[in-house]
Amino acid sequence: MTAVIVTAMLIFVGASPYSMVLESNEGLEVFPENHIVLIGCEVCYNENSPGMNDYSERTQGWSGCSDGTNEPHFIFKSEVSSADADAAMLDAGAAAYNNFPVSEAVEKLQSGSESWDDYLNGTVVMPAIRWVDGDGETREIAYERFFTQIDTGRDGQELEKEFTPHFVYHGSSLLNGETIFGCLVCQQDCSGGLVCDNSGACCRPVPTLKPNWDLIPEQGTTVTLVMYVMPER
């Protein structure tokens, strides 16, 4: 009877993967036919974490699972395990084309040369954050819109712009053995987590970013990290 009631409640609030908002940072839903994963998170702020208020080249991801060593640095933090999040991504159709553990990434960095094999690669992913605002309205914003970036313009001057990453699933997290970094979405080509920006090879370049706290929901808000998996057909 309980299962029937729960199912009915989900239908009532909108069980569509395009509108569902998870009510807990322990929530995890996967919709294989729609290629969508929903991961419950809480908005966190740690003043001792680098780059929370200023532009920085921080190497920790901005979102992740609390079972990882990078847990103190996440803004969007989930109680879902890294292993369960990875399994959900695979169920949604994500596939890794090129991945390797962090130890191998360090070796590649130290080699002094670069090749296509140095880039993590896999199914393209479009992450977003979805939540219910103070007016009771469901909002959804592309993940990268929560950050601004310092880049170099054609004239050599610093330029403030929107963050424009290329996110892919690489699933290297489980290749790191007993070490769990916990990152769900990383802003650089780092093999510690599940999804990264592979615009550069093996953690280089590190983008110079700053969170936009005017856009990020207030601390303590439960949000849903939406992973739109884009499998090739």
- Give tens-digit pLDDT for 9-51: 333 345 799 999 999 999 999 999 999 999 999 999 999 999 9
20 inside domain: no
pLDDT tens-digit readout, 51-61: 999 999 998 99
Q: pLDDT band for position 127 (50/70/90)?
A: very high
| Residue 74 forms part of a structural domain | yes
Q: Mean pLDDT over all residues of the chain? A: 90
The answer, yes or no, to whether residue 131 has pLDDT greater than 50, is yes
Q: Is the pLDDT of residue 4 over 50?
A: no
Res 1 pLDDT > 80? no
Distance CA 38, CA 32 (A): 11
* Residue 6 within any structural domain of the chain: no
CB atoms within 10 A of CB 4: 8
Q: Is 85 helix (H, G, I), strand (E, B) or coil?
A: helix
> What is the CB neighbour count within 10 angstroms for residue 2?
6
Q: Is residue 14 part of a domain?
A: no
Strands 195-197 and 208-211: unpaired
Full residue range of the structural domain in which residue 157 is found: 34-230
pLDDT score recorded for residue 14 = 52
Query: Is residue 200 over pLDDT 60?
Result: yes
In a domain, 11, yes or no: no
Residues 126, 166: Cα–Cα separation, whole Å: 9
d(CA 226, CA 176): 25
Model confidence pLDDT, tens digit, residues 159-192 = 899 999 999 999 999 899 899 999 999 999 999 9
Report the domain count for the chain.
Answer: 1
pTM of the entire predicted model: 0.90
90-121 pLDDT tens trace = 999 999 999 988 888 878 878 777 788 889 99
The strand ranges marked E within 96-166 are 96-98, 121-122, 124-132, 138-142, 147-152, 158-162
